[in-house]
Amino acid sequence: MKILLVAINAKYIHSNLAVHSLRASATPYQDSIEIAEYTINQRKEEILRDIYLRKPDLLCFSVYLWNLEYVEAVQREFHKLCPEVPIWAGGPEVSFETKAYLEKKEELTGIMIGEGEDTFRELCAHYAGEGHSLSDINGIAFRGEGGEILFTKPREPKCLSDVPFCYDDLEEYANRIIYYESSRGCPFSCSYCLSSVDKKLRFRDLELVKKELQFFIDKKVPQVKFVDRTFNCDPARSLAIWQYLIEHDQGVTNFHFEVSADLLNEEELELISKMRPGLIQLEIGVQSTNEVTIKEIRRIMKLERVKEAVKRIRQGGNVHQHLDLIAGLPFEDYQSFRHSFDEIYALWPNQLQLGFLKVLKGSFLYENAKRYGTVWKDEPPYEVLYTKWLSFEEVLKIKLVEEMLEVYYNSGQFEVTMKLLYAITESMFDLFLELGSYYEEKGYAGMQHSRLRRCEILLGFLREKEIPTESFEEALTYDLYARENCKTRPLWAPDLTEYKELTRKLCPNGKTSHLEPFHYLFPDKRSVGLTALPKRLDGCVYVLFHYEERDPLDHQARTEILSEAGPHFS
């Protein structure tokens, strides 16, 4: 018997923890289980062909928001080719409104609802002829002989320490993100999130976690991403894990955590400040700064404490921080969201993700959508179209802001320029909206542009607004060379002929370093946006960019500021 577990990931760099955990949990049948991982960037015909040629006797799919359309298409066509092969599905996208879903999808044999480790093992036993009937397997819905939809008893939550470690062999994860789970469930009840449905928060044994993290450290895995919904909900536990990572750090592996910043205590913040730059990165879900909205979505958050913690961590300059906002939440109108954006932008996280509400089946917001006047797209990821407080036209404006935010801020390619822009505007939200509108008016929207072209467009935008561009030209030059030793010199940058001898002296290997003259002193990495544009210097300073030495957080070249009075010029 061949059992095929199928995962269709959003990107190649992603891996699917669920299917690997299922295989690891079905120990008696592991020799019969294969895993097939694809991406949504592959053609459906290609995926169908590969699955068909593998000749499975039992086919199981891991279903999420991002792959539902692909999974359904492949299931439908495979069933036409091999109607005798049972097809099962599991995952958050099919674990709610299961009866209605199965009634529409006649090609499906059944659905594994909720946690699947024990369910999948028993399902394997059933099809291997070694187990009981389907009706004896808890946590499933399936099609009976008469076509009726039958449900078994819900499966009890599993002890997380009993879930086998699934990463003994890392060859298949080369150049991919490793996902790791040290807890399940969430202490909060945020109304937009399915994690709040799982009311039982469970932890994996701490010593077991340390042993498994050591495996990743020994193998020098590039990145391990914890999928725990609120990693620091138990301060003693998070401290113990972070302390272990510090003590066993080999200088390579980065660990990603989703945390609640307002729960970080003084001991945790002090420990974070001592970490190697790049050892950890933190994802912090703020979602909104509107107190009425936060209360309505049943989120517990002390905003001032969040700000304090984010600023404290930023000052250390050693941790990448990723903050999230969600547009389309209850009681958040356009002006309120604009205020939320500007308030969080002012914290200068390494990334600010501007997302749009996804109305997930089973969530509180889904159940109360009519009360909030929430209307969303029929297709996954069920993104909001409008609400009682936010029109579709306003959603489109926010999408323009999101696009410019990704290009000019989240890319990390315009760090100095963004700090100068902050000095000339009262609202970065408004500035990004104006810039997005400029892209549309000039026909630049929806096109791929080089970094140099993005610089030229930004300068054109500033000139149209009659803003002096000299300092911005130099800031953009700085940003360009901070990332790479540009092959194409910016048209607005000065001729370097007069600096040729100095460059030869300071940059013996032209590919690994670059010398550039500037007439402005720009803010360093730890500083935030400026309150005023920098003054032009009487003379100039030189910045030496070292490309063999890069910041582990943003990968920019190390810079060295030189003056004509310094030792390099004697």
pLDDT in tens, 484-519: 999 999 999 999 998 989 999 999 887 899 999 999
Q: Please report how many Cα atoms fall inside a 13 Å half-sphere around the Cα of residue 406, on the Cβ side.
A: 9
Q: What is the pLDDT of residue 570?
A: 39
Per residue in 63-86, pLDDT tens?
A: 998 899 999 999 999 999 999 999
pLDDT in tens, 441-483: 999 999 999 999 999 999 999 999 999 999 999 999 999 999 9
Give the Cβ contact number of residue 280 at 10 Å: 24
Cβ neighbors of 566 (< 8 A, separation 6 or more) are none
Q: What is the DSSP string of 211-265?
A: HHHHHHHHTT-SEEEE--TTGGGSHHHHHHHHHHHHHT--SS-EEEEEE-GGG--
CA 505 centroid distance within chain? 43
The SS3 call for residue 358 is strand
Q: Please, which pLDDT band fits residue 541 given cuts at 50, 70 and 90?
A: very high
Confidence tier at 186 by pLDDT (50, 70, 90): confident
Domain of 202, in residue numbers: 160-356
> Cβ contacts of residue 96 below 8 Å, gap of 6+?
361, 362
Bond preceding residue 277 cis, omega within 30 of 0: no
CATH code, 91: 3.40.50.2300
Q: Is residue 402 part of a domain?
A: no
Return d(Cα 184, Cα 115) in angstroms, integer: 10
Q: Check residue 68 and give its pLDDT.
A: 93
Shared-domain flag, residues 95 and 192:
no
Are 201 and 179 found together in one domain?
yes
- Based on the domain organization, do 93 and 176 belong to the same domain? no
Nearest-angstrom CA–CA distance, 474 and 469: 9
The pLDDT of residue 59 is 98
Q: pLDDT tens across 378-423, in order?
A: 998 999 999 999 999 999 999 999 999 999 999 999 999 999 999 9
Specify if 76 maps to a domain: yes
pLDDT beyond 80 at 44 = yes
Dihedral-angle region of residue 348 (phi above 0 means left; psi in -120 to 50 means alpha; beta otherwise): left
Is 226 within 8 Å of 391 (Cβ atoms)?
Answer: no
Residue 199's pLDDT is 54
350 and 479 share one domain: no
Average pLDDT over residues 5-29: 94
Say if residue 294 is in the same domain as residue 322: yes
At 87, the amino acid letter reads I
CB 338 within 8 A of CB 427: yes
**What's the CATH code of the domain at 292?**
3.80.30.20
Helix (H, G, I), strand (E, B) or coil at 380: coil
Give CA–CA dist 502/513, Å, rounded. Answer: 13
In the block, tokens 């439908």 appear at: 76
Query: For tokens 């914290």, what's the residue?
Result: 347
Each as own residue / partner, the long-range contacts of residues 244-248 (CB below 8 Å, 24 or more positions apart, any chain) are: 244/210, 244/213, 245/213, 245/217, 245/275, 245/279, 245/280, 246/271, 246/274, 246/275, 246/276, 246/279, 248/213, 248/214, 248/217
- Alpha-carbon distance of 19 to 30, in angstroms, equals 12
Instruction: Kindly state the DSSP code that residue 32 receives in the 8-state scheme.
Output: G
Does any domain span residue 415?
A: no
Average pLDDT over residues 306-329: 96
Contacts of 399 (CB under 8 A, 6+ apart): 356
- Residue environment code for 502-516, b if the CB has 16+ CB neighbours within 10 A, otherwise e: bbeebbeeeeebbbb
Burial of 298 (0-12, 13-18, 19+ CB in 10 A): middle
pLDDT of residue 233: 93
| Structural domain total, the chain | 3
In this structure, the answer to whether residues 186 and 76 fall within a common structural domain is no
- Structure confidence at residue 298 (pLDDT): 87
**pLDDT more than 70, % of the chain:** 97
322 within domain boundaries: yes
Among candidate residues 128, 151, 174, the one where a domain is terminated: 151
- Output the pLDDT for position 524: 85
180 lies in the same domain as 59: no
In this prediction, residue 146 carries a pLDDT of: 85
Residue 209 lies in a domain: yes
Shared-domain flag, residues 185 and 294 = yes
The Cα 455–Cα 469 span in angstroms is: 12
Within-domain flag for 383: no
Task: Decide which of 85, 118, 151 is a domain's last residue.
Answer: 151
Rounded Cα distance, 480 and 143, in Å: 60
> H or E element: which one contains 559?
strand 557-562
Measure the CA–CA gap between 244 and 239, rounded to whole angstroms.
8
Task: Give whole-number Cα distances, 384 to 53, 286, 294, 331, 369, in Å.
Answer: 39, 18, 18, 14, 11
**CA–CA distance, 402 with 395 (Å, rounded to integer):** 10
User: Is residue 342 one of the residues assigned to a domain?
Assistant: yes
**Boundary residue ending a domain (336, 356, 376):** 356
Q: What is d(CA 110, CA 25) in angstroms, rounded to the nearest whole number?
A: 20
- Same structural domain, 71 and 182: no
Contact (CB, 8 A) for 227 and 259: no
Confidence of residue 174 (pLDDT cuts 50, 70, 90): confident
Residue 3 pLDDT? 98
Residues 187 and 300 occupy one common structural domain? yes
Residue 309 and residue 205 in one domain: yes
Checking if the pLDDT of 195 tops 60, the result is no
Same-domain status, 137 and 171: no
Evaluate whether residue 257 is within a structural domain: yes
Q: Are 68 and 383 in contact (CB under 8 A)?
A: no
